[in-house]
Amino acid sequence: MAGLPTDINIDILSRLSVKCLLRFKCVSKSFCSLIDSQEFIKIHLKRSIETNSNLSLILSGTPAPISASSRYWGGKIFSAGLDSLNLGVELDHPFKNCKGRTPIVDSCNGLIALKNDENGIALWNPSTEEHLILPKFWGDLKDFTVVDGFGYDAVNDDYKVVRLVQLVIGNVGYTEIAVYSLRTNSWRRIRVGFPYYILHGWDGTFADGHVHWLVTNNPEDYIENLIVAFNLKSEEFHEVPLPHLENRNDVLVMFVGNFSGCLYFSCLCNYPQPVDIWVLKGCWTKAFSFPRSVGDYVKALAYSQSGGKVLVDKFEYGEDEDINRWELFWYDLQNQGAAADQVTIHGVPQGCRDTIVCVDSLVSLAACAGRGVAGREGRMS
C-alpha cells in the first residue's frame, strides 16, 4: 500500500476496524500520520455510521429504569461487538477502581461520558483508552436533583456536556445550568429559562444536535409528560411534542433514547396494552409495537447489519430484586411478536443494567481540545 496514492490508502484503511488501525500505526510514520489525521478520523467515523458497522454494545451495572437496585457490578463496564454479541470484555474505564455508582451518561461518535458518585464526570474513548476527567465545581449536591447530557455540536465541531442541577421547595424550582466545552476544556454557567421539573433524575439522550430530557411542568405529577431539548449550538431549550398517544391516561412511565441516530420514545402503559416505540425523523413514526408479554419495558438498541432484525433489551419488573432483569433479543421485523432469538453474552454478570450502542472510533479528546488532555483534569471559567 505504500506505493498507492493517498486517497486510495484512505479508502482502504477507512474500511478497517479501529483495532486494526491502531496496529497499522506501527507500520510506518506515514501510516501513523495518516491514521492520526483529523481528516481520516472523520472519514472513518462517517463510513462506520453510514454502513452500520464497527458497533459495540456497552453494558454497565446501573439501576433499572423503573426500579431501584443495589447491584452496580462494582463499577464494571463491559463491551461486546454488535456483530456477534457472544463474548463480553471488561473495559478499563477511568473510574474502574473508584467507589460508588458509575452510570454512563451517553455516547456520541465513539466517545462516552460517564460519571462517578465521588469523582465527577469523565469523557472516554474505550477504543483508544484515552480519557479526560472533567473538573468538579459544585459542592454538596445531596439535596439536589442532578441530570447530565452529552453530545456533539457539529456547527462548532465541539463536544459538550450539559449539567442541570435543580432544587425544588414546594412549587418553586431553582435550576442551575452549566455547559462544558471540550474545545475550550472548561465549564461555564449559562442563563436560560427552565420552567420545568425533573422528577426521576434520568440523564439526557443525544440526537440530531440536541440533548433531550423527560420533564414535567407540574411538580405534583408522578410521571414526566414533556420532552425538552437543549440545542448544543444555540444553547437554548425548546419543547418537543410527544407522539399521539391514544390511551394517555393509562401511561405509567415514559422513556426516550437514541435508536440508529434518531430520538425514540416509548412508554409503559397499564397491562395488557402493547409497548409501542416511536422514532422521530421530522415527525413521529411508530416503528415497532411489541406485545406486553415481551416485557414491561422494551429498549430498542440497533438494527442488524442486514436491517431485517432489531436488537432490543427487555426488562421484566418484579417486587423481588432477583426478578428485575434485562434480557437481550433479536426480533425479526416481519414478526415482532413471535420470531425472537435470545442473546447470551458470556462473561457479563446478570442483574439490572444499562445498555448503549457505541460506534468504535478514533476520535481524539486531545486533538478536539487542541492540546494534550488525556488523563488530565479540565478547568472552570
Residue 361's pLDDT is 97
- Kindly indicate the confidence band of residue 319, based on its pLDDT and cuts at 50, 70 and 90: low
Measured from the Cβ of residue 6, the count of other Cβ atoms closer than 10 Å reads: 10
Average pLDDT over residues 237-247: 90
pLDDT at 284 over 90: yes
Residue 247's pLDDT is 77
Distance in angstroms (rounded) separating the CA atoms of residues 89 and 221: 41
pLDDT at 28 over 90: no
Average pLDDT over residues 282-293: 87
pLDDT at 279 over 50: yes
Burial class (CB in 10 A: 0-12, 13-18, 19+), 229: buried
Average pLDDT over residues 142-159: 93
pLDDT at 338 over 90: no
Residue type, 348: V
Residue 324's pLDDT is 56
Average pLDDT, the chain: 85
Average pLDDT over residues 184-196: 92
- Kindly indicate the confidence band of residue 135, based on its pLDDT and cuts at 50, 70 and 90: confident
Residue 378's pLDDT is 44
Distance in angstroms (rounded) separating the CA atoms of residues 57 and 17: 15
Residue 376's pLDDT is 47
Average pLDDT over residues 234-243: 95
Residue 70's pLDDT is 45
- Kindly indicate the confidence band of residue 48, based on its pLDDT and cuts at 50, 70 and 90: very high
Average pLDDT over residues 68-88: 78
What domains can be seen in the chain, in order of their start residue? 49-367 (2.120.10.80)
pLDDT at 339 over 80: no
Element (H, E) at 32: helix 29-36
Average pLDDT over residues 120-142: 88
Each residue of 63-76: pLDDT tens digit? 555 554 445 567 78
Residue type, 79: S
pLDDT at 49 over 90: yes
Measured from the Cβ of residue 251, the count of other Cβ atoms closer than 10 Å reads: 17
Distance in angstroms (rounded) separating the CA atoms of residues 179 and 149: 9
Residue 71's pLDDT is 53
Of 191-195, 212-216, 232-236, the one with minimum mean pLDDT is 191-195
Which residue reads 437481550 in cell numbers?
328
Distance in angstroms (rounded) separating the CA atoms of residues 179 and 337: 42
pLDDT at 294 over 60: yes
pTM above the 0.85 mark?
yes
Higher pLDDT, 331 or 2: 331
Residue type, 179: V
Residue 197's pLDDT is 92
Residue 308's pLDDT is 83
Residue 98's pLDDT is 84
Residue 50's pLDDT is 92
Residue 381's pLDDT is 34
Average pLDDT over residues 281-309: 85
Residue 318's pLDDT is 60
Average pLDDT over residues 123-152: 89
What is the Cβ-side half-sphere exposure of residue 250, based on CA atoms within 13 angstroms? 11
Element (H, E) at 248: none
Residue 370's pLDDT is 65
Distance in angstroms (rounded) separating the CA atoms of residues 364 and 378: 15
Each residue of 204-221: pLDDT tens digit? 999 999 999 999 998 888
